[in-house]
């Protein structure tokens, strides 16, 4: 690799990922195990840099994407960051989605086969990340799921585009609307992943066909059950070795051709998704969903439905910006406010529909 193509590593050390290259394989690890390997804005920047370097390095023939530890491959975007930063500055979410798009497209356009090593749960953008890869090998204890409709977002960073291609229309709707987890074995049956590696142990012995109850005990490390990622590493290494024994240019162009439908769906929708999500972050649903997650309380999804059914608002926390204060001249005060936020004067009685909506949406 000439110096002109080394820019991916010239911007300083990595803090939220680990990046290593050995024997023709580049390994990119999201290193935020304490946050279930959820990616932050900084993580996305680092992932883009590492993947660009792996793409440009002619000594690399395959790329492995994974997460630290054995609990999570990737839990998607850091919802705490969403709650603290992007619900306050929605326009910056448009910039964030630009970084996410660059990361996903770095996987699509790497020019080399990519393998998702699923060492733990793949949630939200984590599932979208593995969908962007050419192969996905999951440990037995892994679950995959989307969470958008339950946290106030839409999984249009790959899931709405590619799940119908991977698992079919009905199963895609089940995953996207209901957000229920899918086991590694079922994901393999559906075509959501490429292979499953054994990982559940009891007394140090790897189990061939563990029951779901045994898998759950292994996740918790209870009653002598545990996890062993050795078989997963072996399966990934074997796959990578097979991929290295192919002609590089033929493999690169095969990837480009096979990606036709994925790229068609992606490029037809991602620009719109980026803009819509940025606008959506200025509304009630993501505010409620993200804050509830960050504050460890149940989100009031049904309360929003009750407000709307009562003729109130479902887009604003305290109503549309429709009121003015005659005392100080303040304008665009939320319709549900009883007092002016600038001078403190009591406002005229709000519209009856707004009152009904606020009462219907109020928690007991």
CATH number for the domain that contains residue 245: 3.90.226.10
Two tokens, residue 143: 């679950």
In a domain, 286, yes or no: no
* Residue 9 and residue 144 share a domain: yes
Residue 333 lies in a domain: yes
* Cβ neighbours of 165 (radius 10 Å): 15
In angstroms, the CA 126 to CA 77 distance is 8
Note whether residue 213 is domain-resident.
no
Residue 305 CA: distances (Å) to CA of 2, 285, 361:
58, 11, 8
Is 202 inside any structural domain? no
Who's near 331: CB < 8 A, 6+ residues apart? 324, 325
190 and 310 co-located in one domain? no
Do 192 and 117 lie in one domain? The reply is: yes
User: Residue 217 falls within a domain, yes or no?
Assistant: no
Judgement on whether residues 91 and 238 belong to the same structural domain of the protein: yes
Burial 9-41 (b: 16+ CB within 10 A, else e): eeeeebebbebebeeebbbbbbbbbebbbbbbb
In a domain, 218, yes or no: no
**Domain that includes residue 20, residue range:** 3-197+228-280
Tokens of 325: 């204060």
Same domain, 273 and 348: no
pTM: 0.92
Do both 262 and 307 map to the same domain?
A: no
Same domain, 254 and 326: no
Residues 10 and 118 in one domain: yes
Question: Is 109 in the same domain as 178?
Answer: yes
Both 140 and 260 in one domain: the answer is yes
C-beta separation of 165 from 171 below 8 A: no
Counted domains in the chain: 2
Whether 311 maps to a domain, the answer reads yes
Asked whether residue 171 falls in the same domain as residue 99, the answer is yes
What is the spatial distance between Cα 170 and Cα 185, in angstroms, rounded to a whole number?
18
Contacts of 49 (CB under 8 A, 6+ apart): 8, 9, 11, 14
**Contact of 150 with 299, CB cutoff 8 Å:** yes
Q: What is the pLDDT along the chain (364 residues), one digit of tens a residue?
A: 555 555 555 556 899 999 999 999 999 999 999 999 999 999 999 999 999 999 999 999 999 999 999 999 999 999 999 999 999 999 999 999 999 999 999 999 999 999 999 999 999 999 999 999 999 999 999 999 999 999 999 999 999 999 999 999 999 999 999 999 999 999 999 999 999 999 999 999 999 999 999 999 999 999 999 999 999 999 999 999 999 999 999 999 999 999 999 999 999 999 999 999 999 999 999 999 999 998 999 999 999 999 999 999 999 999 999 999 999 999 999 999 999 999 999 998 865 434 544 554 454 3
């Amino acid at each position: 690799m000439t110096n002109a193509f080394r820019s991916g590593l010239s911007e300083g050390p990595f803090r939220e990922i680990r990046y290593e290259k050995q024997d023709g394989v580049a390994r990119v690890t999201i290193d935020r195990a304490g946050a279930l390997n959820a990616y932050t804005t900084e993580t996305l920047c680092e992932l883009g840099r590492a993947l660009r370097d792996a793409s440009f390095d002619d000594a690399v023939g395959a790329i492995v994407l994974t997460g630290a530890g054995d609990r999570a491959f990737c839990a998607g975007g850091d919802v705490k960051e969403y709650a603290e930063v992007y619900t306050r500055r929605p326009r910056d979410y448009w910039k964030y989605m630009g970084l996410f798009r660059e990361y996903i497209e770095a996987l699509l356009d790497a020019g080399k086969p990519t393998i998702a090593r699923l060492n733990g749960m793949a949630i939200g953008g984590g599932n979208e990340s593995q969908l962007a890869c050419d192969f996905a090998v999951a440990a037995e204890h892994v679950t995959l799921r989307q969470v958008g409709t339950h946290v106030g977002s839409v999984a249009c960073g790959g899931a709405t585009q590619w799940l119908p291609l991977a698992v079919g229309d009905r199963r895609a709707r089940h995953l996207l609307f209901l957000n229920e987890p899918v086991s590694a074995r079922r994901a393999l049956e559906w075509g959501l992943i490429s292979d499953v590696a054994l990982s559940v142990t009891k007394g140090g012995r790897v189990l061939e066909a563990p029951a779901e109850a045994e898998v759950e005990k292994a996740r918790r490390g209870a009653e002598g059950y545990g996890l062993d990622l050795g078989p997963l590493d072996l399966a990934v290494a074997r796959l990578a070795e097979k991929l290295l024994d192919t002609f590089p240019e033929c493999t690169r162009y095969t990837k480009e051709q096979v990606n036709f439908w994925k790229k068609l769906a992606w490029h037809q929708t991602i620009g719109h998704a980026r803009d819509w999500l940025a606008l959506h972050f200025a509304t009630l649903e993501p505010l409620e969903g993200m804050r509830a997650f960050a504050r460890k309380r149940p989100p009031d999804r049904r309360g929003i439905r009750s407000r709307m059914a009562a003729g109130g608002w479902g887009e604003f926390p305290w109503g549309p910006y429709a009121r003015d204060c005659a005392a100080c001249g303040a304008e665009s005060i939320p319709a549900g406010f009883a007092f002016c936020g600038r001078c403190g004067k009591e406002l005229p009685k709000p519209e009856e529909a707004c009152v009904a909506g606020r009462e219907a949406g109020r928690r007991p």
